[in-house]
Amino acid sequence: MTPEPANPPDSTPELPDGIQVTFPKGLLGFEQLTAFLLFEPKDGYPLKFLQSNENPDVSFICIDPVTVKRDYQVPLTQEEAEALGLEAPEDALILTLVVVPEDPRQMTTNLAGPLIINVRTRIGRQIILSSETYPLRCPILLQD
């Protein structure tokens, strides 16, 4: 099962106050944190924020990966799809984590470690893909 990419810019649902998302296994390096608030700042598309409910010092910037790589797809195994309770590809929201260095023009996103969230159940999981196929540091902004 390959989930559909996140919504294109003209059809992204607004997340006014955010939605609660549970990652039962946590995120890589933050396995102990499972409850998060996902929200999008006004006029912030394609960026979203994932704030830990358990540790206010932990928050992540995420991006809709199709804004960076148009043909981006996540090959989920049947086991992963079942663990997320995905019944249809459109039930999956795909996000990737963003790193913002001192010079924001050098922002990158990790295409090898996407977050898959079931929009119906609000259960998520981080999937680890091959870094040979999916770059760990994919530039977000086009360089001159």
Tokens of 144: 């001159």
Tokens of 63: 């991006």
Q: Answer yes or no: is 132 within a domain.
A: yes
Q: What is the SS3 assignment for 61?
A: strand
Task: Give the model confidence (pLDDT) of 76-100 as tens digits.
Answer: 888 889 999 998 888 999 999 999 9
Q: Answer yes or no: is 122 within a domain.
A: yes
Task: Give the model confidence (pLDDT) of 24-82 as tens digits.
Answer: 999 999 999 999 999 988 887 788 999 999 999 999 999 999 999 999 989 888 888 99
Task: Give the CATH number, domain containing residue 61.
Answer: 2.30.290.10
CA separation, residue 5 to residues 23, 31, 47 (Å): 19, 25, 15
Global model pTM greater than 0.85: no
- Strand 92-99 relative to strand 138-139: parallel, antiparallel, unpaired? unpaired
Q: Answer yes or no: is 6 within a domain.
A: no
Structural domain count of the chain: 1
Q: Which helix (H) or strand (E) holds 51?
A: strand 47-52
Domain range enclosing 93: 16-139
Q: Answer yes or no: is 7 within a domain.
A: no
Task: Give the model confidence (pLDDT) of 108-120 as tens digits.
Answer: 999 999 999 999 9
Q: Answer yes or no: is 45 within a domain.
A: yes
Q: What single DSSP character describes residue 12? A: P
Q: What single DSSP character describes residue 100? A: -
Q: Answer yes or no: is 4 within a domain.
A: no
CA–CA dist 110, 103 (Å, integer): 17
